[in-house]
Amino acid sequence: MDTPQAKTPIQDVLDLLDLEKIEENIFRGLSPKDRMQRVFGGQVLGQALVAALRTVEGRVCHSFHAYFLRAGDPKVPILYEVDRSRDGASFTARRVVAIQHGQQIFNMAASFQVPEQGYEHQFEMPKVPSPEELASEHELRLKEIDRIPEAARDWVLRPRPIDMRPVTWRGFSNRGKHAPFDNIWIRATGPVPDDIGTQQAVLAYASDMSLLDTALLPHGIDWHSSIQMASLDHAMWFHHPFRVDEWLLYAQDSPSASGARGFNRGAVYARDGKLVASVVQEGLMRPRPEKSR
């Protein structure tokens, strides 16, 4: 008798994105059973986009704008309610509200368009080494295992659904001050279904994995510093079709931080240099008072 094969991390993400339909315009999503104390923002982005997509036919998402209102509880399902705001001749609008414990934790406005042709231009892709020339984040962390607290090693080194290859590696615990720019090659660690909606949902998931870190670079701090961090909002624009299971360059920068908030931008390029998506996010980066010794 064959032993069932364990699911891969990317298959786990695809399962999370496969929402259960409860009734018309209402869907239910689950969270992974791991040690996270709150739901990962990229998961909610991807699930909300899938919920909206389930109510749209023949049109492609070209943008969404989302707000994180409360921390998600990973122990209970998330209900996604879709409002069919408008079905026009060329554009379709949807509003998605995510609910837990009777309260909104997140909302999203998404727009879909009938594919059409028009004028085109774009910024050039940054000139960076190819992903084959770079080590994966997992490999880089393994080399620094002695610097990772023993209690955190299993979590930090766990298999992930997205292979991330930073062009510049600043170490597990980054305490130096750097310009707020970061380039990372990203790719799903396994096949992703061909349909553009699933490709977009997985990229939405991945887009929240590293963007807020960019705002930390000028300040010599990281996630292990005395700081409270959380995504506040997140917007994406999809410019061209792409495959998230092929290498994409995620070029990130942070033009500003103020008011305990970091403002971050991302440009996603296919390997041939085509700009396929843009991302903007503001995140909380509130200093915590240092504990007295």
Catalytic residue among 100, 252, 254, 281: 281
Radius of gyration of the chain (CA): 19
* 281 is annotated as an active-site residue: yes
CATH assignment of the domain containing 233: 2.40.160.210
Task: Flag whether pLDDT at 209 surpasses 50.
Answer: yes
292 domain-assigned:
no
pTM exceeding the 0.85 threshold for the entire prediction: yes
d(CA 196, CA 202): 10
d(CA 187, CA 110): 24
121 domain-assigned:
no
Task: Flag whether pLDDT at 139 surpasses 90.
Answer: no
Task: Flag whether pLDDT at 53 surpasses 90.
Answer: yes
Catalytic residue among 31, 199, 231, 252: 231
User: pLDDT for 226-255, tens place per residue?
Assistant: 789 999 999 999 999 999 999 999 999 999
**Per-residue pLDDT at 1:** 47
Characterize the bridge pairing of strands 162-166 and 103-113: unpaired
Catalytic residue among 163, 182, 208, 253: 208
Match 């609910």 to its residue by tokens.
Answer: 99
* 130 is annotated as an active-site residue: no
Task: Flag whether pLDDT at 103 surpasses 60.
Answer: yes
**Per-residue pLDDT at 291:** 56
**Per-residue pLDDT at 293:** 38
> Residue 85 in contact with residue 93, Cβ under 8 Å?
yes
128 domain-assigned:
no
CA dihedral over 158, 162, 163, 169, signed as positive or negative = negative
User: pLDDT for 244-293, tens place per residue?
Assistant: 999 999 999 999 999 999 999 999 999 999 999 999 999 999 988 765 43
Q: What domain range is 252 assigned to?
A: 9-115+133-287
Helix (H, G, I), strand (E, B) or coil at 131: helix
139 domain-assigned:
yes
293 domain-assigned:
no
Task: Flag whether pLDDT at 179 surpasses 90.
Answer: yes
Considering the chain, what is the average pLDDT of its residues? 92
125 domain-assigned:
no
Q: Which residue has the higher pLDDT, 4 or 164?
A: 164
66 domain-assigned:
yes
120 domain-assigned:
no
User: pLDDT for 141-168, tens place per residue?
Assistant: 777 777 777 766 666 777 889 999 999 9
* 292 is annotated as an active-site residue: no
**Per-residue pLDDT at 292:** 43
User: pLDDT for 162-175, tens place per residue?
Assistant: 999 999 988 766 56
> Residue 269 in contact with residue 291, Cβ under 8 Å?
no
**Per-residue pLDDT at 71:** 95
Number of structural domains, the chain?
A: 1
Strand order in the sheet with 162-166: 20-23, 26-29, 78-87, 91-100, 103-113, 60-68, 227-238, 275-287, 261-270, 248-258, 181-188, 162-166
